[in-house]
Amino acid sequence: MPFISLYITSEIWPFKENLMQSLDSQLKNLQGFNTKLCKYRLTLVDEKVIEEKEKRNLISSDSIRCEFVTFNDRSQDVLMSILKACELGIKNALISLKYPWQYSVTIIPIERSYNISGFNK
């Protein structure tokens, strides 16, 4: 079952529902797999970046990281469509919120396996 992990920093966390709705509105139009099976996982993260190289000052950074996990037998066209839909969904949410936050989207292909009573076949 495909799932979407959204790693969201605290500044963006209050807008998580808007973000998820915008992302889902793009994914529901995809062809090639059933998006009704997708699950969303939201994780609040504390992200730091180095402000000054010499002093090594760490400051808070706000961003969204989207990881879409799906089966590795998807065609390249379908995987590219997923990537573009995720990017567009996040961009649309950020535009509507009028914030210039950074984001990234990663597609993670996994093997298909069937788990019955804890044993893989």
The percentage of the chain sitting over the pLDDT mark of 90, rounded to a whole number, equals 40
Asked if residue 12 is part of any domain, the answer here is yes
Residue 46 lies in a domain: yes
Instruction: Report, as an integer, the average pLDDT of 30-39.
Output: 76
Confidence of residue 33 (pLDDT cuts 50, 70, 90): low
Contact 69, 5 (CB under 8 A): yes
Is residue 121 included in any domain, yes or no? no
pLDDT (0 to 100) of residue 57: 83
Beta-ladder partners of 29:
none
Does residue 9 lie within any of the structural domains?
A: yes
Q: Each residue of 49-99: pLDDT tens digit? A: 888 778 888 888 888 999 999 888 888 998 899 999 999 999 999 888 887
Q: How many domains does the chain have?
A: 1
Residue type (1 letter), 43: T
Q: Which of 1-15, 30-44, 81-95 has the lowest mean pLDDT?
A: 30-44
Tell me which residue range forms the domain holding 34: 3-62+72-110
> CB-hemisphere CA count at 13 Å for 96?
15
User: Looking at residues 105-121, what average pLDDT do you find?
Assistant: 71
Q: What is the residue-averaged pLDDT of the chain?
A: 85
d(CA 110, CA 5): 14
- Indicate whether 117 belongs to any domain: no
User: Which residue do the tokens 């969204």 mark?
Assistant: 64
